[in-house]
Structure 1
Amino acid sequence: MTTVKNLFRKPVTAAIVGSLALAVPASLAVPAQTAIAQSQTDQLDRATRALRAITTMRADFTQTDRAGNVVAGELTLKNPGKIRFEYSDDVNMLVVSNGRSLTLVDYDVNQVERWPISDSPLGALLDPNRDMRRYGRVVEARSGAISIEVADPSRPEFGTIRLIFVESGGAPGGLELTSWVALDAQNERTTVRLRNHRYGMSVSDSEFRYRDPRRSTRRPG
């Protein structure tokens, strides 16, 4: 259960990694740095467009914490801002966003936690108003893959998330989100990996609602 909560809890620590230094002659430093910055901006914009181009998506996921504990389930995404993590039957928990707030429902203890999308580590994925140029940076770009890290340096408690994309002709925008890594307040790393992506299906808004366990002990179907 800790594996699930580590990813979605509000108080997380931002790990802002310094910019990579490039060893070039002084006479070439400014043009080279300008070119690198422009290239990274282009890659960041491309990844952002790919995220925003998703209308609906379903994918199988596995979620792994630092200790190697793994839980699995199905993710459903509907832009803007809606997401549902439906865990396997042995994890009596649900995580869902209705486009405004992210809610974690723990049916074992009949507890509900809720916070604004923008305060979650998943804000970069869910919040359409998140300025990726302001809060994001490319940490790796190689043939066929892009890795971007998103964090607000002025609000480290809102966390850091690293999104990894790979080239895919079948994905909106030509890039497929294959995994992400979040860091929590205890410096615990949680990794989510996606597979079996499906796009463009009809998804009802009712999938992003939940039954409040404080009023009922039954888990939503």
Structure 2
Amino acid sequence: MIRPRISARTLLLGLGAGTMALGLAPALPAALAPAPLAAQSASELDAVVNALRTISTMRADFTQTDRQGNVMAGVMTLKRPGKIRFDYGKDSDFLVISNGKSLYVVDYEVSQVERWPIKNSPLGALFDPERDVKRFGKLIPTGNADVISVEVRDPKKPEFGMINLIFVRNASAPGGWQLTHWVALDAQNHRTRVQLTNQRYGVSVPDSTFTFRDPRRASRRPG
């Protein structure tokens, strides 16, 4: 598979850290466009945390676009606690995966594996919303009662960048709010947008989904 070369750290932050600041607000559908001078109540932050915590398993298609317009697509699978997989397709040489303890960026083309402890990962807002969203999140006014925007960043760890999560009201989604996309800005001002579609909840997801073939070894082992 031919794809743009993206550093593991940039990709990792792109998947897990973003912001609406600095004029990088993600585009919303016209019907959901924000109105000026609108305020959102603090209860909406609780609603977002509840929506994320209510998800037991989730599978969604994703499209990832970097600041240069390069696009990568695949399937995201999430399972609590702490498991996630960004699969770029059977012909891809790239994989991002967490087994609940560590987050890995696997590059089969160059036989490289990079690892981060989950607690140090910018994806913490998805893994542990009670800790990260409640502690480091703030609401960004959208002017639309059916859209919630939350910016999450740790001011003591600017190297993790920021994540801006966008939720749209959806009665069929856990907690009544559906995560539709996030926008990423890392410490080097690398911007990445990840759009989710075709979200499915409560699907059967075996733990084997979160294992991978280590390109540094001949045998398969857990991730």
Instruction: Provide TM-score, normalisation by structure 1.
Output: 0.81
Letter in 2 for 1:68: G
Q: Give me the identity figure in percent.
A: 57
SS of corresponding position for 1:203: coil
Change in 2 beyond 3 A, CA 1:188/1:59: same
2:210 counterpart residue number: 208
Post-superposition Cα deviations, 1:101-150, rounded to whole Å, max 9, x if no partner, equal 11010000000000012322211111355242220001124221101010
Match of 1:88 in 2: 89
Of 7, 11, 14, 2:11 maps to 7
Change (3 A) 1:49 1:181: same
Describe the SS at the equivalent of 1:134.
helix
Could you say what secondary structure the match of 1:45 adopts? helix
2:141 aligned with 1:140:
yes
Look up the SS of the partner of 1:47 in the other structure.
Answer: helix
Which amino acid is 1:207 matched to?
T
The answer for the alignment partner of 1:121 in structure 2 is 122
For residue 41 of structure 2, what is the aligned residue in structure 1? 40
Q: Secondary structure at the match of 2:158?
A: coil
Once the two structures are superposed, residues 14-72 of structure 1 have per-residue CA deviations (whole angstroms, 9 ceiling, x without a partner) of: 86959xxxxxxxxxxxxxxxxx6xx5321111001000100001100000000110000
- Provide the aligned length of Structure 1 versus Structure 2: 199
The unaligned stretches of length 5 or more in structure 1 are 19-35
Q: Distance in 2 between matches of 1:92 and 1:122?
A: 22
Work out whether residues 63 and 74 of structure 2, in 8 Å CA contact, stay in contact via their aligned partners in 1.
Answer: yes
Q: Distance in 1 between matches of 2:183 and 2:99?
A: 22
Change (3 A) 1:179 1:14: closer
2:215 counterpart SS class = coil
Give, in whole Å, the separation in 2 of the partners of 1:107 and 1:74: 18
Aligned counterpart, 1:28: none
Aligned-pair RMSD on alpha carbons? 2.6
CA contact under 8 A between 1:110 and 1:217: conserved in structure 2? no
Taking a change above 3 Å as real, the CA distance of residues 198 and 15 of structure 1, as seen in their structure-2 partners, is closer
Alpha-carbon distance in 2 for matches of 1:178, 1:61: 10
Q: Which residue of 2 aligns with 1:24?
A: none
CA apart distance, 1:79: 1.2
> What aligned pairs does 1:66-215 form with structure 2 within 5 A after superposition?
66-89=67-90, 91-127=92-128, 130-141=131-142, 142-215=144-217
Which letter does structure 2 place at the counterpart of 1:114? R
Q: What is the alpha-carbon distance in structure 2 between the residues aligned to residue 195 and residue 14 of structure 1? A: 19
C-alpha distance in 1, partners of 2:52/2:190?
Answer: 26
Amino acid in structure 2 at the alignment position of 1:42 = S
Q: What are the residue-to-residue correspondences of 1:48-67 with 2, within 5 Å?
A: 48-67=49-68
**Aligned to 2:159, what secondary structure does the other structure show?**
coil
Provide the TM-score with structure 2 as the length reference: 0.80
Aligned residue identity for 2:138: R
